Structure 1
Amino acid sequence: MKNELKIGSALSILTIVVGSLIQIFYTPLYMKYLGTIDFGINSLVQSIMGYIGMLNLGLGNAMLRYTVRYRAEGKFEEEKSLNGMFLTIFSILMIISIFLGAYIYVNIPNFFSDKFTAEELSKTKSVFLLMMLNVAISFPVGVFSTNIASREKFLYQRGLSLVKTIVTPIVGAVLMLNGFGLIAVTISIVVSGLIVSMFDVIYARKLGMKISFRNFDFKVLKEIFHYSFYIFLNIIIDRVYWGTDRVIIGKYIGVTAVGIYSIASIFNTLYMNFSTAISGVLFPKINRLIVEDKHEEISNLFIRVGRLQYILLGLISSGFILFGKEFIYLWLGEGYSEVYKIALWIMIPLTVPLIQNTGIAIMQAKNMHQFRSVIYCIIAIGNVISSILLVKQYGAIGCAIATGISFMIGNIVIMNIYYYKRLNLDIPLFWKNILKMSIPIAITMGVGILLNKHIININYINFLIKVIIYGGTYFILLFFLGLNKDEKKEILKMIVKHNTEKNTIKD
């Protein structure tokens, strides 16, 4: 199980790295063959799909929590009934989502007609219809996916995710290069999603997942809905943060601005993915630690994971501050300078919740996530209001400013106090660790500033030279000035193991 966890984390990181590289090459291709408008339409529809996807009510985490508990307690009959109960619920939610999708589909012209052309509205409706198919099917299939996750089969799930990450954009690129448009590319995405869903159903059954539609425990169902309510509230809030901006921009500015904002969002999505690659596989482990009443070990895990996340995020954020504008120019050409500013306004405040996102899993496992949900709900409402006001005055960047400020208030101030006072996490020790690690990062940024002053000409070779020097300096300084003894030992152990395996292969 321990190896499964390590391999799952490694595959998650590999998926993100591969996905990032593919995104870097895929986006300019998308812009060249389909354009900013089609990119904006695709992003806008995905945001709307996110709202429909909220109908899962946060029940996925609840199912995972209760399935792990039943299996640990040997209540296999109850687990079978639980699977049947969730499959029934999610099938009903699928039907509701279809009716909701039909309503939105009919009203797309009414909402966006002021800023969209007739052709843009037609494409938006077609893409919406296709993506709606994937979302509807995802509800019942989610029961099988969650059952796989409850068995901690991260090798399968992360491996399949890696294959999908590679294959889907390759198919899309082939279609674009052969003259096919947005609709064909969307169809390829939908088909890949359906194939993954089919694999999840087959694999869950192979693992021994059993389903019974008898003896539903309605007392447990009541507990589940109570537990899931605040997770559902969190899902709404996340959707407000990451989806509403595009809808607001589409409503008040137009689809081209949505495309610009969506390009900036690519950086922040990748940034978030690097953080959650490690913490995303820890929920079952955190549940076990809480059941075993190991509070000190939970706090240590929170700090340890935060440090690991900061190693990656410190490199990415500091590097983007120094070289991001140059990268965007080389990547997409002129006309995308606003992408850098939008990305920065979200990326920097986002760093804190990302290095502390293990805290969310701890709250959910302890069933103490209600406070976060309420606070985030209040801040999210303020974010929407301020985004509408600022977008009219400053354009797309106004939405980014509103989102960044809301992150500072909610995540950096309020949640740290809650983690310390209510979850009993050692927040002073956490920030002591992060500040110590920030010293070599600050020194490295000084080196980056000197590189920018002395290597002025913008081209791929100069950019790579600066990135390589910066990355090398970062890891050297971090190793000697930022990492603790255990982390250094782990890295040296990995290097020795790699060299030993290499020499064995040679012999």
Structure 2
Amino acid sequence: MKINQVKAGVILSYLQTALNAVISLVYTPIMLRLLGQSEYGVYTLASSMIAYLGLLNFGLSSSYIRYYSKYKSRDDSRGLAQLNSIFLSVYTVIALIAFAAGLGISFNTEALFGATLTAEELVTTKYLMLILSFNLMMTFFSTVFTAYVGANERFVFQKVLSMGKTVVSPLVTIPVLLLGYRSIGMAVVTTVISLAVDVSNIVYCFRKLNMKFSFRGADFRIILEIASFSVFIAINSIVDQINWQVDKFILGRYQGSTATAVYGVASQINTLYMNVSTSVSSVFTPRVHRLLYAEDSSRQYSLLFTKIGRIQMLLLGLVGSGLILFGRPFIQIWAGRGYEDAYAIMLLLVLPCTIPLIQNLGIEIQRAMNMHRFRTVAYGIMAGVNLCISVPLGKLYGGIGCAAGTSISLLAANGFLMNWYYSAKMGLNIRYFWKEILRMIPAILLASAVGVAITWMFDPKNIFVLALCGVLYSAAYALFCWGLAMNREEKQLVLSFIKKAARR
């Protein structure tokens, strides 16, 4: 049952990634034109500010899965019920703190952005932050239920629910925008749909998974043990938020809403790119924690790390090279005029983060082994470098300068420090990992050469020609990877998927 859930979860993860990409292609241009560049910049700024409050999670979601696996391996149902009660209590407190902090930020927007935003933009930002703060509060409250579904490896339910949210959100938002409710209407729609998803998870936990709570006898002193494990995850989350959100704050502070909007478009493409990778690794989180208790876990971790890394590289190679080849005309068609700098910003974000994306299963391996402290320190240094570089570069060169600062820090932390740690301290076979990854590069380069020829033969200035170029390049990429890059297991996986799809 669980094996089928994992396989179905991987397939549905990729379907969701594809669905996200398709909907973004259709929905985002409509949304950008209905909102306007200034309003979209305000929405991006407000969202990034509230995203900082997500740091109050303190890495507890990963801690929950770790302790769930521990109690489950002992078949301790009473301990699980008490664990659920403890986490629900903690998340309720965090939810209230997050909402209070959101109120504080929303009522101080003028002090933060009064120098660059207009009076109307400041009012809009205030209301957006209020709505999004309420959304975050409800998300925190339901986190233990979402984590419980994932810990039970009910990936089909999770992915179907997430796909439903992906489809319904734009279908409701577009009419709201057409009625003139603009960014505040978007925030309300986002909150209502998120609330529906949260309620669905709660109902599923009680009715299908028979989730239990027991406050009687619950040892809340375990919070100290959980905190000692989670503290470095929390710090790492803070660092991640700095690296991925601080550029928007810098631009909002020193450049205004327009520059923030341009960066937001590039950031949205980068998020889709990242989802191609994380959609797979997230499915394997429970398995990673179970392997800790298996024999020869170090070897098994190395094999799984490399196996997932190669699959991620196959997909990221296609998307990343495609963005290099066709990203400029794509942004011109997709976002419209005024977003030309988004191409350079996108490449500065996308290319350096490829290394951590093909290795992101290593994050969960670190947490399972309780060896995630070094990553926190490395990323802390990375955040400091990013901040020191991005502020002056952002003032001088806008979004491109901020993205350059992020790019430099990403390469330093992920390209060198983390790979040394994986090999020297965690015992992962990084030499084997990169040997297997580098075997795929010739196929990607040859396909890219064909892609250059395609751009010479066709001038992708409209959506139809661009789509044709994309199809031709994808076909060439698939052929080269099948012949030169993919191993027997990967080919069997693809053939098995095709055969099952054909039978259905």
Deviations 1:351-408 (A, max 9, x none): 0100000100100111100000011011101211211011111111111000011110
Whole-Å Cα distance in 2 between the matches of residues 49 and 378 of structure 1? 24
Question: Could you tell me which residue of structure 2 aligns to residue 249 of structure 1?
Answer: 251
1:130-145 mapped onto 2 (5 Å cutoff): 130-145=131-146
Question: Could you tell me which residue of structure 1 aligns to residue 412 of structure 2?
Answer: 409
Deviations 1:69-123 (A, max 9, x none): 1122111111111111111111111222222122212211111000000000000
Structure 1 stretch displaced more, 255-264 or 177-186: 177-186
Question: Could you tell me which residue of structure 2 aligns to residue 505 of structure 1?
Answer: none
Question: Could you tell me which residue of structure 2 aligns to residue 84 of structure 1?
Answer: 85
Question: Could you tell me which residue of structure 1 aligns to residue 20 of structure 2?
Answer: 19
Whole-Å Cα distance in 2 between the matches of residues 485 and 74 of structure 1? 38
Structure 1 stretch displaced more, 209-218 or 158-167: 209-218
Any conservation in 1 of the 2:265–2:335 contact (CA below 8 Å)? no
Whole-Å Cα distance in 1 between the matches of residues 274 and 178 of structure 2? 30
Whole-Å Cα distance in 1 between the matches of residues 448 and 393 of structure 2? 31
Whole-Å Cα distance in 2 between the matches of residues 445 and 211 of structure 1? 55
Q: What TM-score do the two structures reach when normalised by structure 2?
A: 0.97
Question: Could you tell me which residue of structure 1 aligns to residue 118 of structure 2?
Answer: 117
1:262-281 mapped onto 2 (5 Å cutoff): 262-281=264-283
Opposite residue 271 of structure 1, the aligned amino acid is Y
Whole-Å Cα distance in 2 between the matches of residues 297 and 376 of structure 1? 26
Any conservation in 1 of the 2:95–2:137 contact (CA below 8 Å)? yes
Question: Could you tell me which residue of structure 1 aligns to residue 398 of structure 2?
Answer: 395
Any conservation in 1 of the 2:263–2:342 contact (CA below 8 Å)? yes
Question: Could you tell me which residue of structure 2 aligns to residue 209 of structure 1?
Answer: 211
Question: Could you tell me which residue of structure 2 aligns to residue 226 of structure 1?
Answer: 228
Whole-Å Cα distance in 1 between the matches of residues 495 and 202 of structure 2? 41
Whole-Å Cα distance in 1 between the matches of residues 48 and 260 of structure 2? 11
Whole-Å Cα distance in 2 between the matches of residues 307 and 96 of structure 1? 41
- Displacement of 1:295 after TM fit? 2.0
Whole-Å Cα distance in 1 between the matches of residues 179 and 104 of structure 2? 35
Opposite residue 283 of structure 1, the aligned amino acid is T
Question: Could you tell me which residue of structure 1 aligns to residue 334 of structure 2?
Answer: 331
Moved over 6 A (4+): none
Identity fraction in percent: 37
Deviations 1:299-326 (A, max 9, x none): 1000000000011100000011011101
Whole-Å Cα distance in 2 between the matches of residues 332 and 158 of structure 1? 28
Deviations 1:144-189 (A, max 9, x none): 1111111111111111000001001110012122333221221111
Whole-Å Cα distance in 2 between the matches of residues 248 and 9 of structure 1? 37
Opposite residue 228 of structure 2, the aligned amino acid is H
Whole-Å Cα distance in 2 between the matches of residues 289 and 332 of structure 1? 45
Secondary structure, aligned partner of 2:210: coil
Unmatched 5+ residue regions in structure 2? none
Opposite residue 133 of structure 1, the aligned amino acid is F
Question: Could you tell me which residue of structure 2 aligns to residue 283 of structure 1?
Answer: 285
Change (3 A) 1:105 1:440: same
Opposite residue 481 of structure 1, the aligned amino acid is L
Structure 1 stretch displaced more, 459-468 or 260-269: 459-468
Secondary structure, aligned partner of 2:108: helix
Q: Does 1:197 align with 2:198?
A: yes
Any conservation in 1 of the 2:106–2:127 contact (CA below 8 Å)? no
Whole-Å Cα distance in 2 between the matches of residues 148 and 299 of structure 1? 27
1:42-191 mapped onto 2 (5 Å cutoff): 42-191=43-192
Aligned equivalent of 1:425, options 415, 424, 428: 428
Opposite residue 135 of structure 1, the aligned amino acid is L
- Displacement of 1:489 after TM fit? 2.5
- Displacement of 1:252 after TM fit? 0.4
Any conservation in 2 of the 1:283–1:365 contact (CA below 8 Å)? no
When the two structures are aligned, how many residues end up with a matched partner?
Answer: 501
Whole-Å Cα distance in 1 between the matches of residues 464 and 172 of structure 2? 30
Q: Does 1:482 align with 2:481?
A: no
Structure 1 stretch displaced more, 471-480 or 205-214: 205-214
Question: Could you tell me which residue of structure 1 aligns to residue 301 of structure 2?
Answer: 298
Secondary structure, aligned partner of 1:292: coil
- Displacement of 1:46 after TM fit? 1.3
What is the alpha-carbon root mean square deviation over aligned residues? 1.3
Secondary structure, aligned partner of 1:104: helix
Whole-Å Cα distance in 2 between the matches of residues 148 and 367 of structure 1? 23
Any conservation in 1 of the 2:352–2:411 contact (CA below 8 Å)? yes
Whole-Å Cα distance in 1 between the matches of residues 113 and 454 of structure 2? 46
Whole-Å Cα distance in 1 between the matches of residues 460 and 418 of structure 2? 44
Q: What TM-score do the two structures reach when normalised by structure 1?
A: 0.96
1:418-457 mapped onto 2 (5 Å cutoff): 418-456=421-459
Question: Could you tell me which residue of structure 1 aligns to residue 29 of structure 2?
Answer: 28
Any conservation in 2 of the 1:12–1:278 contact (CA below 8 Å)? yes
Secondary structure, aligned partner of 1:280: helix
Secondary structure, aligned partner of 2:17: helix
Whole-Å Cα distance in 2 between the matches of residues 457 and 347 of structure 1? 22
Opposite residue 50 of structure 2, the aligned amino acid is M
Question: Could you tell me which residue of structure 2 aligns to residue 348 of structure 1?
Answer: 351
Secondary structure, aligned partner of 1:468: helix
Secondary structure, aligned partner of 1:467: helix
Deviations 1:36-72 (A, max 9, x none): 1121111111111111111111111111210121122
Any conservation in 1 of the 2:69–2:290 contact (CA below 8 Å)? no
